[in-house]
Amino acid sequence: MSTGFSPYRLPEEYDDIRSATREVCETGVAPNAAEADATATFPKASYAALKASDLHAPHIPAEYGGAGIDALGTAIVIEEVARACASSSLIPAVNKLGSLPLLLDASEDLKRRYLPPVAAGEAMFSYCLSEPEAGSDAASMTTRAVRDGDEWVLDGVKRWITNAGVSEFYTVFAVTEPGAGAKGISAFVVEKGDAGVSFGKPEKKLGIKGSPTAEVYLDSVRLPAGRLIGEAGQGFSLAMRTLDHTRVTIAAQALGIAQGALDAATAYAAEREQFGRPIAAFQGVQFLLADAAMKISAARELTYAAAARSERGDGDLTYFGAAAKCFASDAAMQITTDMVQVLGGYGYTQDFPLERMMRDAKITQIYEGTNQVQRIVIARELQRGNAF
């Protein structure tokens, strides 16, 4: 079985993170993957297994009760969870996405209030940016936040919210200064139990069915002024800075899905016999496996390079985050499709995990910025001289 290790030697601590995560996933996550997909239900058993090993929100610093794993280590955790179950990998990935705005810009009081419960596994955090008419064009959002004395009043609808209804906390972006465009958007922490918060029906999706996706409705939701993250008017900038970091986690998710598909297809090809020998002996199958391995190796190098830049806060993170997400997700879609082909008719059935992995891989090309948008980001960073 493939280890999925990077060709160059990482410090031992990262090997330990990978080994520990893989062990947890093989016993506590992978066995739940097919059922979560078939029933479209949140994998509570997988969450419990990750929580018990401090892998549900590994990025939260130790001072807030977290494991304090850095960006590269967190990417490895997400990669390994995705190798077993893409839906479950959205537990650590979306906990990071939802809470990272606090780590980047929130007051210490806000961090102390909301990060420890997530670190303890008592709550999850989601990220509310997209709207029915504001997807790639996030700055055109219409959700409003109006100041009323010592409170903010929020009204609007957020769409495509991962783990909506399961998460206790939500980072919500809303317009606080109409007419100011991107400079008139602010960020807030909203709690599931706040009056006026409700959720739509879960979307019926192609993949990642074990991670609920739904609309979040905000009907005159009153928040204390202290729930503002950072300064008013800085929310859109915060949203984009967050995505620079968390696109690395989507690259890691795509990488894990691709590695899981290659591992399953390689094992199958060694056992399946046709014409008197294993199909792994045939050049047509060998080429599919070899191409997949090369693309995974390249995606891993780029993803880890982006993760290192995320940890350091390098000036070329925007380029590397977009490039890693785009390359790894395109590779995952191609690899999972090819690995279904290796299994032939069996790959098209639910008796094997390949068809699920193929369906799961598709979303990595879409969320946290479509790959068409990533290519625009990459081109702009090239023109600005921020690519290398």
Query: How many CB atoms are closer than 10 A to CB 11?
Result: 9
Query: How many CB atoms are closer than 10 A to CB 320?
Result: 27
- The C-alpha R_g of the chain, in whole angstroms, comes to 21
Both tokens assigned to 2: 């493939």
- Going from the C-alpha of 75 to that of each of 18, 168, 329, the distances in angstroms are 10, 23, 14
Tokens 């990935």 appear where?
93
AA identity, residue 12: E
Residue among 79, 80, 368, 381 flagged as catalytic: 368
Q: Rounded to the nearest 5 degrees, what angle is found at the Cα of 181, between the Cα atoms of 178 and 185?
A: 70
AA identity, residue 296: I
Q: Is 368 a catalytic residue?
A: yes
Provide the strand spans (E) within the chain.
125-128, 144-148, 151-162, 169-175, 185-191, 197-199, 213-224, 228-229, 273-274, 277-278
Any alpha helices (H) in 53-172, and if so which ranges? 71-84, 86-105, 108-119
- Residues labelled as active-site residues: 368
